[in-house]
Amino acid sequence: MLIDGADGNYRNDNLLLGFSDLRRLRSERPLVFAKGRGIFVVDENGKDYIEAVSSFYCAALGFSDEELADAAMRQLRALPMYPSAIHRTTAPVMELSERLAAIAPVRNARVHFAVTGSEANDHLVKFMWYGNGFAGEPRRRKIISRKASYHGSTIATAALGGGRDLHDSFALPMQDYLVIGHPGWPDAAEPGEDETAFTDRLAAELDRVIQEAGPETVGGLIAEPVSVSSGMYPPPAGYFEKITTVLRRYGIRLFVDEVVTGFGRSGEMWASQAMGLEPDCVTCAKGISGAYMPIAALLLGEEFAGRLDRGSDAKGWFAHGATHAAHTVSAAVALKVLDIFDERDVLGHVRRIIPHWNAALDGLLDHPLVTGNRKFGLMGALKVADPREAPDGNAAASLQVGGIAKAIYEAGLEAGIIVRPLAGCLVMAPPLIITEAEIGELARRLRLALDRTLAALPAA
C-alpha cells in the first residue's frame, strides 16, 4: 500500500519475501536498493555496499553494464517477446542454443531453456522420468542428492536440497528422493579419518543407498561442483571420481548443477571443466545473462536427449513448454554475455584475480572471530565463531538464521558490505569483474564488520 507516492515510502503489509522473517517484514521496512554500478549497489538513502555475494551469486558482470542494457533494449524494440514452442522460436534463441552447445561440458549437447535455475533442475527431473519411461526403464524414477544442498525452490527441487526439517515444514513428497552425506571435508570427517578414507566412506554410502533402493529404480544423482549453500565446500580430492565410478557401475546418470558455478566462477567457463567431471547433463542459470534477464538452460547429453526423442516419436510431440522459457530478450542478453566473455577476456581476468582473492581471505585469518576459510575459484567462505564458546559448542545457533555469522552480516551492512551468513560462516562470491583494489576494499569493510561485532560481544 502506498503511503506517499511522491517519496516512494511504501508500507510492507502486502509484501512476502523469501528467506525473511515475515512478522519482521510487516513491522520493519526492508533494505531497499535503488541503483548499482560495478560491484556496488546503492540503497534508497544513497549508501553504497559492496555486493560480495553478487546478489545470490548471479550478477557475474556487475551492475549497470551498458552493453547488456543496450542488448536488452535493442531486442525489446525489435521483438519484445515470443514463446519458443509449437515449432516456433526466434533467432536469438537459436543462436544461443548453438553457442551453448559448442561450449557445453557435455558432449553433443542438446539445449532446452527455462526461466530460473529452480525450473531447470525441476525440468531435468521431469525429463528423466519421461525419457526413462519411453526407454523401457519406467522404474528408474529415484534421484539422489546430498544433505544440505540447494537445487531450487519448486516442490521437486526443494526435495533435492536442505534437510529433514525443510522437507517436513513444506510436507514435500519424498518417495522418489534419496539423500546421501554431504562432502564437507574436513568438518564432516570422523575422528582419525583422512581425506582418502573420508571419500571412500562417502562412495561406500552411495553404493549402499543405491543397493537398498534397488539399482533398477534409481535414475540419477544431482550435485553442485562446489556445495555453496552448505557453506561453500569444494569437493575433497577424489570425491567426484569415486562417486562417478559407483554411478557408472549401476547405469545411473550424473547431473551437475552449475547454476552458481557456471560461467566463469571457477576460472573456467564451467566448474565441471575445472574439476575434470564428465556429467551426463548440466543445468545453468544466473551468470548466463549476468542476471540482467531471467533465463536458465538444460544442457542434455546425447543419450539422455535421445530418450526424449523416443517419447516425441511415440506421441507426435514433446508435451512440455512454458511461456517465458527462452524469452527472446533474455536470449539476446545472454548472447551479449558470451560476447563480453570473449571481448573482455573475462576468464583470463578471473584467473589473474583469484590469487589476490585468496590472499585477501587468508589475510583475515588473524581475526579473533575467524577460525578458518574455504576457497575455490572466485568463491570463498570465512568460518566464524564466538571466541567465548568452546570449539565443540552448540553450532546450531549459527545455522542459517542466527549466531555470530548473522551478527557479522548485520555489522557488514553497517560497514557497507553484503555477505551471506550460512552454517557458521560468511559466504562470498563477488562479481567476476572485481579488481585487485576492490578486493582490498572488500577485505577492509569486512574486517570493520568483524571488529564491530567483536567489540559488541558481552564480556565473558
The one-letter amino acid at 245: T
Contact 128, 280 (CB under 8 A): no
Q: What is the pLDDT of residues 57-100, one digit of tens each?
A: 999 999 999 999 999 999 999 999 999 999 999 999 999 999 99
pLDDT at 80 (0 to 100):
97
pLDDT band at 389 (very low <50, low <70, confident <90, very high): confident
68-343: which CATH architecture? 3-Layer(aba) Sandwich (3.40)
Averaged pLDDT score across all residues of the chain: 94
Domain with CATH 3.90.1150.10 in the chain: 19-51+345-456
- The answer to whether residue 276 scores a pLDDT higher than 90 is yes
19-51+345-456: which CATH architecture? Alpha-Beta Complex (3.90)
Mean pLDDT of 218-233: 95
Q: Which DSSP helix (H) or strand (E) runs through 75?
A: helix 66-78
Contact 458, 378 (CB under 8 A): no
pLDDT at 11 (0 to 100):
67
d(C-alpha 49, C-alpha 441), whole Å: 11
Q: What is the pTM of this model?
A: 0.94
Domain with CATH 3.40.640.10 in the chain: 68-343
pLDDT band at 240 (very low <50, low <70, confident <90, very high): very high
- The answer to whether residue 377 scores a pLDDT higher than 70 is yes
- The answer to whether residue 306 scores a pLDDT higher than 80 is yes
pLDDT at 163 (0 to 100):
86
Q: Say if residue 186 is preceded by a cis peptide, omega within 30 of 0.
A: yes
- The answer to whether residue 315 scores a pLDDT higher than 80 is yes
Please list, residue by residue across 350-375, b when 16 or more beta carbons sit within 10 angstroms of its beta carbon and e when fewer do.
bbebbebbbebbeebeebebbeebbb
What is the secondary structure of 7-36 as a DSSP string? TTEE-STT---TTS-HHHHHHSPPP-EEEE
pLDDT at 390 (0 to 100):
62
Mean pLDDT of 38-52: 98
Phi, psi of 152 (to 5 degrees): 140, 180
- What share of the chain has pLDDT > 90, as a percent? 89
- The answer to whether residue 109 scores a pLDDT higher than 80 is yes
